[in-house]
Amino acid sequence: MTMPSSSAKVVLVTGAAGGLGQGLVSEFAAQGWRVAAAHHHSPSQSATESIFLLQLDVIHRAQAEDAVSQILTRWGRLDVLVNNAGITHDQPLWQIHEADWDNLIAVNLKGAFNCAQAALRPMLKQREGHIINLTSFSGRAGQRGQATYAAAKSGLFGLTASLAKEVGSRNVRVNAVLPGVLPTAMTARLKEKQLAELAAANALHRVNSIAEVARFVVFLATLQNVSGQLFQLDSRVARWT
C-alpha cells in the first residue's frame, strides 16, 4: 500500500461496509489516496493513517454535512465523492409496500443528492472536484422485479447529466458507473441458475469482479477532462434507443 503524502487527494466513499465499498476503499488507499470510509452502522474496520472511518446514514442530510465537515477538519479538502451506498428490495411493483419504496428511493437516490450537495460546498470553493455515482444496468434497461431499484438508479443518470452541466464551469466533474453484476451480499441470495442467466446475458459470458470495478473507479477519479458520462463495466449490450 502506498502511504499518502500530505498533498494526497481525499475521497469520500459511501456504503463502505459492502463488498464493492470495501474494494473501493482498499484500492484508493493502495493508490496513495486519503480515504474517508463512510459506514451506515458503526464501523467495524480499523482506521489507518490513510483510512478515516465515519458513520453516515446517507438519507439524513445533516449526517452528510457532518461527514464532510469532519473530513475538512481532518484533511482540509475533499476531492472526490463516490456515491456507492445502495440497497435492493426486489419484488413486483404491485407487491411493494409504500414504506419499502420510500426507503429504497431515500437511500439510492436521495442519499446521493444529500452527499453530493454536502460535497459540492468545498469542491466549488476549491474549483476542483469529482462526483462518481454508482448506478446500475437495471436503471438503463429495466429488470423484472426491480421497478423501484431501476427507478432510483435511472434517476442517478439524470442527476449525473444535469449536475455535470451545472458545475462544469467550476471544474467539478460528475460521472456515473454501471459496475455490472458483482459477487457481493446483494447477489449472494441469487440462485445458481439466476447467476448463470446473468452471466449468459454478457457477451463475454461472465460477470464482473470487485477488483476490476475498483481499479476503474480510481482511474476515473483521476481524469480531468471527462464529465457527464455513463461507463458500463460489463459486456451486456444494450440498444442505442
pTM, two decimal places? 0.90
Q: What is the pLDDT of residue 189?
A: 65
Three state DSSP letters for the chain: CCCCCCCCCEEEECCCCCHHHHHHHHHHHHCCCEEEEEECCCCCCCCCCCEEEEECCCCCHHHHHHHHHHHHHHHCCCCEEEECCCCCCCCCHHHCCHHHHHHHHHHHHHHHHHHHHHHHHHHHHHCCEEEEEECCHHHHHCCCCCHHHHHHHHHHHHHHHHHHHHHHHHCEEEEEEECCCCCCHHHHCCCHHHHHHHHHCCCCCCCCCHHHHHHHHHHHHHCCCCCCCEEECCCCCCCCC
The pLDDT score that the predictor gives to residue 188 is 58
Pick the catalytic residue: 149, 178, 208, 217? 149
149 noted as active-site residue: yes
| Residue ranges, the chain, pLDDT below 50 | 241
- The dotted CATH code for 10-181+210-232 is 3.40.50.720
Q: What local confidence, expressed as pLDDT, does residue 204 receive?
A: 83
Q: What is the pLDDT of residue 221?
A: 98
> Which pLDDT score is estimated for 241?
41
Domain chopping of the chain, boundaries: 10-181+210-232
| pLDDT confidence of residue 88 | 78
